[in-house]
């Protein structure tokens, strides 16, 4: 498309960039399903499944959601969500994991 007017700056990438991203996501989907059928011990199965899920999510956020090309402020906002999520998980799990400690002698 021949354009003579002023081009607005965008994050548009070549088609191959999006296609490659999709292929990597598909490969990770195959790996996670395959790992699911391996009958791994529970803790290992969770670790593998969550590692792959976090990797897939990061790829989607960086490439499809264009965070890779966004401003520092957008990075901060995107990062803050996952930071708060980790705080919520850490505090909730610490609560449930420590409940059976009570009653603590001498307290």
Binding site for another protein (CB under 8 A): 1, 3, 5-6, 8-13, 15, 18-19, 21-22, 25-26, 29, 32-33, 35-37, 39-43, 45-46, 49-50, 52-53, 56-57, 60-61, 63-66, 70-71, 73-74, 77-78, 80-82, 84-85, 88-89, 92-93, 96
Q: What's the min distance (Å) between Cβ of 106 and another protein?
A: 28
Q: Which tokens belong to 77?
A: 């906002």
Helices 42-59 & 15-36 angle (0-180, nearest 10): 170
Residues 6 or more apart whose Cβ sits within 8 Å of residue 68: 62
Nearer to another protein, 16 or 105 (CB): 16
Closest CA to 56 of 40, 33, 73: 33
């Amino acid at each position: 498309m021949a354009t003579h007017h002023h081009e607005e700056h965008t994050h548009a990438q070549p088609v191959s960039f999006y296609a490659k991203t999709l292929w990597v996501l598909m490969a990770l989907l195959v790996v996670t399903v395959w790992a699911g059928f391996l009958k791994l011990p529970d803790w290992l199965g969770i670790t593998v499944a969550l590692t792959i899920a976090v990797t897939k999510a990061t790829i989607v956020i960086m490439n499809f959601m264009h965070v890779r090309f966004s401003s520092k402020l957008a990075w901060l906002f995107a990062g803050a969500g996952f930071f708060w999520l980790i705080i919520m998980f850490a505090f909730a799990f610490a609560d449930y994991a420590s409940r059976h400690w009570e009653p603590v002698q001498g307290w």
